[in-house]
Amino acid sequence: MAEVRNSKKACTVNALKMSQPIGGALAFMGLNGAMPLLHGSQGCTSFGLVLFVRHFREAIPMQTTAMSEVATVLGGLDNVEQAIVNIAKRTKPEIIGICSTGVTETKGDDVDGYIKLIRDKHPELDDIAIVYVSTPDFKDAFQDGWARTVTRIIDEIVETAAPEAQRSDRRINVLPGCHLTPGDLYEIRDIIESFGLEPMFLPDLSGSVDGRIPDEFTPTTLGGITVKDVATLGSSAWTIAIGEQMRPAAEALEKKSGVPFTLYDRLTGLAPNDDLIALLSRLSAKPVPQKWRRQRSQLVDAMLDGHFFFGNKRIAIGAEPDLLWAVASFLTEMGCDIEAAVTTTHGPLLEQIETDEVLIGDLEDLGKRAEGCDLLITHSHGRQAAERLDIPFFRMGLPMFDRLGAAHLTTVGYRGTRDLVFDIGNIFIANAHEPDTETWRHTAEVSDDTSEAFAAH
Q: What is the CATH number of the domain that holds 419?
A: 3.40.50.1980
- At residue 449, the pLDDT reads 53
- At residue 446, the pLDDT reads 47
Domain boundary, last residue among 140, 162, 185: 140
CA distances from 350 to 144, 288, 328, 398 (A): 15, 33, 10, 20
- At residue 454, the pLDDT reads 47
- At residue 180, the pLDDT reads 97
Alpha helices in 122-160 (DSSP H): 142-157
**Structural domains counted in the chain:** 3
**The 3-state secondary structure of 207-235, one letter per residue:** HCCCCCCCCCCCCCCCCCECHHHHHCHHH
Backbone φ and ψ for 63, nearest 5 degrees, come out as -125, 170
Backbone φ and ψ for 402, nearest 5 degrees, come out as -110, 20
- Do 282 and 321 reside in the same domain of the chain? no
**β-bridge partners, 317:** 341, 377
CA-to-CA distance for 397 and 406, rounded, in angstroms?
9
Query: Is 163 inside a domain boundary?
Result: no
Query: Is 26 inside a domain boundary?
Result: yes
- At residue 74, the pLDDT reads 84
- Do 109 and 136 reside in the same domain of the chain? yes
**C-alpha angle 270-274-278 in degrees, rounded to nearest 5:** 175
- Do 309 and 326 reside in the same domain of the chain? yes
Query: Is 315 inside a domain boundary?
Result: yes
Query: Is 452 inside a domain boundary?
Result: no
CA-to-CA distance for 316 and 377, rounded, in angstroms?
6
Give the residue ranges of the chain where pLDDT is below 50: 444, 446-447, 450, 453-454
Angle between helices 77-91 and 111-121 (to 10 degrees): 50
- At residue 132, the pLDDT reads 97
- Do 221 and 336 reside in the same domain of the chain? no
Q: List CB contacts of 240: < 8 A, sequence separation 6 or more.
A: 172, 173, 174, 175, 261, 262, 263, 264, 276, 279
- Do 268 and 348 reside in the same domain of the chain? no
Say whether 394 sits in a helix, a strand or coil: strand
What is the pairing mode between strands 34-39 and 63-64? Answer: parallel
CA distances from 143 to 61, 347, 359, 367, 450 (A): 20, 10, 16, 22, 58
- Do 114 and 224 reside in the same domain of the chain? no
Query: Is 145 inside a domain boundary?
Result: no
Which secondary-structure segment (H or E) carries 104?
helix 102-107
Say whether 163 sits in a helix, a strand or coil: coil
- Full residue range of the structural domain in which residue 253 is found: 171-289
Angle between helices 182-193 and 270-284 (to 10 degrees): 40
Query: Is 91 inside a domain boundary?
Result: yes
Task: Tally the C-alpha atoms within 13 A of residue 360's C-alpha that lie toward its C-beta.
Answer: 16
Query: Is 447 inside a domain boundary?
Result: no
Contact 283, 240 (CB under 8 A): no
- Do 128 and 196 reside in the same domain of the chain? no
Contact 408, 211 (CB under 8 A): yes
Domain boundary, last residue among 289, 318, 336: 289
